[in-house]
Amino acid sequence: MGKLILAVDDDRDILDCLELLLPIEGYSVVTSLEPDNIFENILEYIPDLILLDIQMGEHDGLEICKALKGNDYTKDIPVIMLSSDKRIFEAMSKYNADGIIPKPFNIEEMINALDDFLAAKIIPISRAS
């Protein structure tokens, strides 16, 4: 499988959607409903990119993004905020996110954004029979 994406969102439906769509596009995906263990998940799975929601109960994804970008081990992992929170438009300038995808999102635009960050689009090769 392709590059690994860690998706952290408290909306199970969003995670289910990502678990269905991303493998079709050539990506591996690991999902988490809570960011409590995000650093442990990063150490275990070594993701190539992180999709992160902003509003997750008592957790603020923007602050988590800022912590990830301030950590020497995780600072180079692209973080894309995926949220309906209007603060998403401050995510890149104030919290060092690498990109944003506002919810509701267009699936094609999301895939294009991931492809741009990861350059991992798998293109089928035709074989002569």
Instruction: Classify residue 126: in a domain, yes or no.
Output: no
pLDDT in the model for residue 61: 97
- Find the helix or strand (DSSP H, E) in which 14 lies: helix 12-24
Largest Cα–Cα separation, the chain: 57
Task: Give me the CATH number covering residue 39.
Answer: 3.40.50.2300
- Domain membership flag for residue 21: yes
Would you say 95 and 68 are in contact if contact means Cβ atoms under 8 Å apart?
Answer: no
d(CA 29, CA 125): 23
Number of structural domains the chain divides into: 1
Tokens standing for residue 55: 């509003």
Could you list the residue range(s) of the whole structural domain that residue 80 is in?
4-118
| 79: in domain | yes
Do the beta carbons of residue 49 and residue 77 sit within 8 Å?
yes
pTM: 0.89
Q: How far apart are CA 34 and CA 67, in angstroms?
A: 16
Q: How confident is the model at residue 63 (pLDDT cuts 50, 70, 90)?
A: very high
Please indicate, yes or no, if residue 128 is contained in any of the structural domains.
no
Give residue 2's pLDDT band: very low, low, confident or very high (50, 70, 90): confident
8-31 pLDDT per residue, tens: 999 999 999 999 999 999 999 999
Q: Is residue 45 situated within a structural domain?
A: yes
| Residue 108 C-alpha from the chain's centroid | 15
Task: Give 70-127 pLDDT, tens digit per residue.
Answer: 999 999 999 999 999 999 999 999 999 999 999 998 899 899 999 998 884 455 444 4
Strands in 79-83's sheet, in edge-to-edge order, are 28-32, 4-8, 49-52, 79-83, 99-102
